[in-house]
Amino acid sequence: MRIHQILPRLWISDRNSASNKRVLGKYEIAEILTVCLDPISWTKQYEHIRYHHIALDDVPMQNILTRLEELLSILEEAISSNRSILVHCEAGISRSAAVCCAYVMRRNSCSTKEALNHLRSSHSCYPNEGFIEQLEIFEKLLWKADKETLEASENYGKWLTVNGKTRQNGRIKGGANKNQRDGDDA
């Protein structure tokens, strides 16, 4: 069982724990936010739980900043309604950790490093390098990621461009695939 409390009413886990009825009941999970490519199968969903799914790939090119306001809104709505929410990806180490880290950063007005240290005090997590870079941009933008703020950000604009090509949906536009690294030619 891999489920850890990050803050009151905010939990993180892997996919298996997010589908385990006993675990979900034990921790009184009322909502689940899935941040991997595939949602939890309807055969493993439970009536009393509200499910959310935002498809994110665990690759450095995946743009999470454009989805961050939506993700954080889901967390804030659940937590402010006194409903425990579980954020999970496949292993509970990268995507879900990046989302929880962003929430901690905004809630506590803290740095990426401070938020990661907070998460790591209760849960082993290692967001990929692209997620870390985006969390650092989020910090510089004073924990904002709305469209206007991102479009006005020079740091975000630089992050979006890799070797003259633009990152889109976990890929580099112009022929690169998701397995290519930032320094590889397209």
How wide is the angle at C-alpha 82 spanned by C-alphas 79 and 87, nearest 5°?
Answer: 40
Q: Which of 159, 160, 96, 103 is nearest to 124 (CA)?
A: 96
> What single-letter DSSP state applies at residue 35?
-
Q: Which of 36, 89, 100, 101 is catalytic?
A: 89
CA distance 12 to 177: 29
Whether 89 is catalytic is: yes
Q: Does residue 1 contact residue 20 with C-beta atoms inside 8 Å?
A: yes
H/E run at residue 107: helix 95-108
> What single-letter DSSP state applies at residue 177?
-
CA distance 139 to 2: 28
Measured torsion, CA atoms of residues 37, 83, 121, 67, in degrees rounded to the nearest 10 = 40
What residues are annotated to the active site?
89
